[in-house]
Amino acid sequence: MCLDDAQAQVTAYAGGSPSNIVLSIPVTASVGGRCGFAPGLAPSGSTDVGEVNNAFSADFPFTLECTVPFRAAVISQNGGLLATSVTPAVGYTNLAPYLVDLNLVGDAGVTPVSGTCDTADLQTSSGAGCVFKGPATAGQGLRLNGSSYDTPGSFLRVHRGAYAAPAILTAANAYADSLTVTLSVSP
């Protein structure tokens, strides 16, 4: 077949030859991976840990809608419970560290993953390494090697034993921190 024959117009004729024409049109599609929090089930809320010198623990459950492997990461605004209203004297501190646990549960057959980090390691300005220091990217954060779609059981936990650091906590009515959880697909 020469090039002119391939580009020639083909017409079907009623009662003639050819009476029909076969036209082949390839149609393809794909579904991209996506990951987010299920509507109304993102980690949220707050907790009052009471006296900052005492032990505490609080869980914040969440449900994901991730169709591919992904990473989750956490950022601590203050690197611990911070009393911004006071300036500590020598031997005192206005920052009480605590721990953050991140637990990710996937669909059936996907092995759950978890990790624990000190809040001082979760600040974006911190050079310290933490497996789920944020923000999440395709290569940074705690990785779940599979999907997790409307599967319960994932949570963020904040906790600490009784305060035992050498510096004494400064008296203040408001020690606070804010955690941000981010997600990223990680094929």
Q: Show Cβ contacts of residue 74 under 8 Å, excluding neighbours closer than 6 positions.
A: 100, 102, 117, 122, 132, 133, 134, 156, 179, 180, 181, 182
pTM: 0.82
Give 140's strand partners: 137
pLDDT band at 7 (very low <50, low <70, confident <90, very high): low
Planar angle of CA 32, 38, 44, nearest 5 degrees: 130
Of 111, 105, 114, whose CA–CA distance to 152 is shortest?
Answer: 105
Structure tokens belonging to residue 11: 């017409």
pLDDT, tens digit (0-9, with 9 covering 90-100), for 23-62: 788 887 766 778 999 999 999 889 998 999 999 999 999 9
The secondary structure element, H or E, covering residue 3 is helix 3-7
**What does the pLDDT read at residue 4?**
54
pLDDT, tens digit (0-9, with 9 covering 90-100), for 56-111: 999 999 999 999 999 999 999 999 999 999 999 999 999 999 999 999 999 999 99
**What does the pLDDT read at residue 77?**
96
**What does the pLDDT read at residue 1?**
46
Task: Note whether 73 and 174 are within 8 A (CB).
Answer: no
Residue whose structure tokens are 């510096």: 167
C-alpha dist (Å) from residue 158 to 4, 20, 99, 118, 121: 74, 71, 6, 10, 14
